[in-house]
């Protein structure tokens, strides 16, 4: 069942329509490549039912679900909580994104036949993993396939912030660009700098590899434990306080959890150099945004580049948007065609594996 502005439509499979929000019904019978015995107690005869929470999922991912009865949210607007709860009853798998809150209430609304949750994201702080484990529901995610795209964006954001690219482009448009001034629009260079990465995981390591050719003099990292792969980029494991005090560029690459929530706060910003550039492409929740605003406004740190915020989208009246030394992007770290296609495909493969009684290719343990 699918709610569309007061309408409820029953579908066996939804394909993209000729117009936004217009569903096209496809009743063609497809041969399921999986053993029928694996679909006992499924919601719709021999075909498992999958609910897709977002309208703009790449087709390459949806195509992998053609052996299922797929019901897809058919609005450009984000599905609201009440609509999500209303439409998941009886489903066998949930294909969700990072803006969907998956908790015990939602899982219970799905019903006891729910066999899989697949999130099209590498982060899973929007999912109550305890609730999923208590119900024996495997959860799949999409690591690795977005690593390169996010690392590229992180470096681009660092450069845009440190070299004041947004300010420069704005000056051209506003007519501020006048005669050459040797001290105008000067920023911080990477050459001979010290870069500190908090959280040297897959993405952090990929960022480090891309920064080494810029001629940085030292690469520091901090986290719960040392990463053997740090040898690949000649990175030194240091305490969090040392990373803050010695780095010219501080990059947040950590996951969001109880230990890292707002770990970048008033105290940590005070420990940074006044010339430090802060970059966050991990999760908005690792930063106390009020403290960041005060640090930027007062000159406690030089500048900040954010691809993630709290909340998302960031309200247009956020004081951060009034600061010239703060670059904010709309969470586009993984926004390449290749990465988003790969994420959609991996989410679908995770779901199909679980429905077939197999281990997900990328399952959260």
Residues designated as active site: 331
Taking each helix axis from N to C end, the angle separating 147-162 and 165-174, rounded to the nearest 10 degrees, works out to 60
Place of tokens 């000159």: 299
Beta-strand pair 326-328/93-96: unpaired
Structure tokens at 172: 């051209």
Phi-psi sector, 304: left (phi>0), alpha (psi -120 to 50), beta: beta
The neighbouring-strand residues paired with 305 are 279, 327
3-class secondary structure per residue, 212-270: HHHCCCEEEEECCCCCHHHHHHCCEECCHHHHHHHCCEEEECCCCCCCCCCCECHHHHH
Q: Which two tokens stand for residue 6?
A: 């007061």
DSSP codes joined into one string, 114-149? --EEEESSS--TTB-HHHHHHTT--EE---STTHHH
Do strands 236-237 and 303-306 pair parallel, antiparallel, or not at all (unpaired)? unpaired
111-119 — which CB contacts under 8 Å span 24+ positions?
Answer: 113/41, 113/42, 113/43, 115/48, 115/354, 115/355, 116/92, 116/140, 116/350, 116/351, 116/354, 116/355, 116/360, 117/93, 118/93, 118/94, 118/347, 118/348, 118/350, 118/351, 118/354, 118/360, 119/347
Sign of torsion, CA 20 24 30 32?
positive
Number of C-beta neighbours around residue 281 at 10 A: 27
- CA 233 to centroid of chain Cα atoms: 25
């Amino acid at each position: 069942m699918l709610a569309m502005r007061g309408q409820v439509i029953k579908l066996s499979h939804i394909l993209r329509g000729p117009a936004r929000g217009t569903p096209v019904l496809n009743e063609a019978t497809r041969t399921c490549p999986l053993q029928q015995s694996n679909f006992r107690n499924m919601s719709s005869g021999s075909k498992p039912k999958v609910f897709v929470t977002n309208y703009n999922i790449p087709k390459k991912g949806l195509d992998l679900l053609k052996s299922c009865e797929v019901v897809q949210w058919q609005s450009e607007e984000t599905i609201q909580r009440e609509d999500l709860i209303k439409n998941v009853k009886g489903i066998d798998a949930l294909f969700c994104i990072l803006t969907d809150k998956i908790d015990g209430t939602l899982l219970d609304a799905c019903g006891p036949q729910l066999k899989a949750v697949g999130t099209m994201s590498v982060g899973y702080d929007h999912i109550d993993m305890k609730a999923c484990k208590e119900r024996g529901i495997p959860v799949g995610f999409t690591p690795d396939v977005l690593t390169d795209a996010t690392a590229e964006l992180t470096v681009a954001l660092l450069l845009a912030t440190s070299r004041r690219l947004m300010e420069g482009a704005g000056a051209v448009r506003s007519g501020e660009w006048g005669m050459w001034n040797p001290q105008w629009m000067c920023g911080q260079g990477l050459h001979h700098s010290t870069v500190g990465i908090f959280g040297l995981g897959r993405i952090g390591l990929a960022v480090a590899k891309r920064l080494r050719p810029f001629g940085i003099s030292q690469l520091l990292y901090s986290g719960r434990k040392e990463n053997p792969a740090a040898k690949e980029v000649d990175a030194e494991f240091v305490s969090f306080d040392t990373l803050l005090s010695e780095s010219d560029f501080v990059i947040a690459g950590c996951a969001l959890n109880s230990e890292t929530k707002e770990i970048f706060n008033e105290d940590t910003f005070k420990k940074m150099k006044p010339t430090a550039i802060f970059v966050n492409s991990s999760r908005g929740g690792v930063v106390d945004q009020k403290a960041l605003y005060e640090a930027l406004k007062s000159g406690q740190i030089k500048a900040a580049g954010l691809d993630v915020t709290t909340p998302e989208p960031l309200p247009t009246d956020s004081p951060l948007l009034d600061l010239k030394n703060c670059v904010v992007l709309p969470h586009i770290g993984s926004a390449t065609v290749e990465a988003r296609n790969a994420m959609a495909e991996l989410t679908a493969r995770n779901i199909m594996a679980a429905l077939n009684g197999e281990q997900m290719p990328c399952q959260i343990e």
